[in-house]
Amino acid sequence: MAVISTRASKPPGRAVVVTAIGITQIFAWGSSYYLPAVLAKPIATETGWPFAWVIGGLSLGLLLAGFVSPLVGRAIGRAGGRSVLAASAVLLASGLLVLASARSLPVYLAAWLVIGLGMGAGLYDPAFATLGRLYGQAARPAITAVTLFGGFASTVCWPLTAVLEARLGWRGTCVAYALIQLLLALPVHLLALPREAPAKPGELSEARAATDAPSPVHPGKVIFMLLATVITLSSVLSSVLSVHLLTLLQARGIELATAVALGAMVGPSQVGARTIEMLVARFHHPIWTKLTSTSLVALGILLLWAGFPVLSLPLILYGAGIGLESIARGTLPLAVFGPAQYPVMMGRIARPSLMAQAAAPTVAALIVDAVGFDGMLVALVAIAIGNVLLSILLFSLLRPWR
């Protein structure tokens, strides 16, 4: 049967595509990145494996996701994201089923490598690249809308994971998420996302050269490296707190149920910030979003370290900043590099970001073992403030007021 491209037939409407990607993003994050926040302790308790190694499974997965991300970006640039996102659902499900059956630490870690392939093919960067290829510069509202869905990932999946773990155990929880990937995410990707015609031969070579020579849009490698750095540092902060936030709150004497409730506030804060951004995005360059994001994250972490008595405030500020960061991560490279180069550039930017995230939770766990959670928070404050300063430098180089 001949493949009919979206240029030859009417593709699904933008609302259908955005809703499909948005819903599957919630469970892609919940099935992978957010899983250890709730399951790490039960896994370590049942198996006797060191907690740092249990957290290290996510780190290994993110490391592999970083290695494959440029390949994923090029694949989406060549033929669109439908098949890539569908493959991510299969990979996540496969890894979760291996995870559920793991009786030894090597098998557990191998399962996370498979999950890592699924993360590299199915989290925000591939989703944004898919939208950028579909809609070009007009993808900014679609990217923002997908992040609105994604903001509910922790709000939906942390409590869901806690309930499933209480009733099914951590192994049954992994099986449940595998079924969600196979019975929900996979058919949604295949049915709701359009097939796309292959890219023209010259488009990918232009993307590869984009960071090697100056252009009227951006001054080559300087902007690329600075942009990749600020996105990477933001990812480090979010990855550490996504894994350790509940444990950090419990270390301060808060019960798990209360810690989950407090942690769940991050999601609505992300959604609130993203809603405001959606309303005002047409009035400003995405670098303003990035600068606001890094500032809010730094303030939230600073208040958390300082022991601000109302814990909800630093979590709300942090959540709002992370919410805007997800938008800036997708829209700022699109504004800087343009739609033709965007899928490949997202893959290249994702590599250092994901590799840094791979190390961050494990390094943070080692810091906690050595000097406690206060020492970890001091390191996060320093990174957050440094990221604000680098974002200001990027702002000055891009000169959005021109």
Q: Which pLDDT tens digit goes with each residue over 98-121?
A: 999 999 999 999 999 999 999 999
Averaged pLDDT for residues 224-253: 87
Q: In this predicted structure, what is the pLDDT of residue 291?
A: 94
Which residue in this structure is represented by tokens 């996510």? 58
Q: In this predicted structure, what is the pLDDT of residue 31?
A: 93
pLDDT of 46 over the 90 cut: yes
The answer to whether residue 2 sits within a structural domain is no
Angstrom distances, CA of residue 47 to CA of 36, 51, 63, 178, 350: 14, 10, 24, 21, 33
CB 63, CB 355: distance < 8 Å: yes
CB atoms within 10 A of CB 96: 28
CATH number at residue 279: 1.20.1250.20
Q: What are phi and psi of 14, to 5 degrees?
A: -60, -40
| Element at 237 (helix H, strand E) | helix 221-251
The answer to whether residue 266 sits within a structural domain is yes
CB atoms within 10 A of CB 190: 14
Q: In this predicted structure, what is the pLDDT of residue 155?
A: 79
The answer to whether residue 1 sits within a structural domain is no
Chain centroid, CA 33 distance in Å: 8
Q: In this predicted structure, what is the pLDDT of residue 366?
A: 84
CA–CA separation, 223 and 220 (whole Å): 6
Q: In this predicted structure, what is the pLDDT of residue 14?
A: 84
CA–CA separation, 349 and 73 (whole Å): 10
Range with the poorest average pLDDT among 216-225, 290-299, 340-349 = 216-225
Averaged pLDDT for residues 291-319: 90
pLDDT of 27 over the 90 cut: yes
CA–CA separation, 151 and 148 (whole Å): 5
The answer to whether residue 4 sits within a structural domain is no
Angstrom distances, CA of residue 220 to CA of 165, 211, 215, 339, 391: 48, 4, 7, 16, 17
CB 101, CB 154: distance < 8 Å: no
pLDDT of 324 over the 50 cut: yes
pLDDT of 74 over the 50 cut: yes
Q: In this predicted structure, what is the pLDDT of residue 10?
A: 65
Averaged pLDDT for residues 204-228: 61
Which amino acid belongs to residue 25? Q
Q: In this predicted structure, what is the pLDDT of residue 218?
A: 47
CA–CA separation, 26 and 85 (whole Å): 13
Q: In this predicted structure, what is the pLDDT of residue 91?
A: 97
CB hemisphere CA count around 158 (13 angstroms): 25
Domain count for the chain, please give it: 1
Q: b vs e for 237-255, b when ≥16 Cβ sit within 10 Å of the residue's Cβ?
A: bbbbbbbbbbbbbbeeebe
The answer to whether residue 124 sits within a structural domain is yes
Sign of torsion, CA 335 337 342 346? negative
Of residues 126 and 372, more confidence is placed in: 126
Which residues touch 267 (CB under 8 Å, ≥6 apart)? 151, 152, 153, 154, 155, 156, 319
Reading the block at residue 252, the tokens are 């301060």
pLDDT tier at 350, thresholds 50, 70, 90: confident
The answer to whether residue 375 sits within a structural domain is yes
Reading the block at residue 141, the tokens are 């509202």
pTM of the model as a whole: 0.81
Domain that holds residue 325: 14-204+211-398
The answer to whether residue 369 sits within a structural domain is yes
- If you average pLDDT over every residue of the chain, what do you get? 86
pLDDT tier at 2, thresholds 50, 70, 90: very low
Q: In this predicted structure, what is the pLDDT of residue 5?
A: 41
pLDDT of 279 over the 50 cut: yes
Angle among Cα 60, 62, 67 to the nearest 5 degrees reads 95
Of residues 251 and 272, more confidence is placed in: 272
pLDDT tier at 211, thresholds 50, 70, 90: very low
CA nearest neighbour of 221 among 210, 207, 237, 232: 210
The answer to whether residue 159 sits within a structural domain is yes
Q: In this predicted structure, what is the pLDDT of residue 262?
A: 83
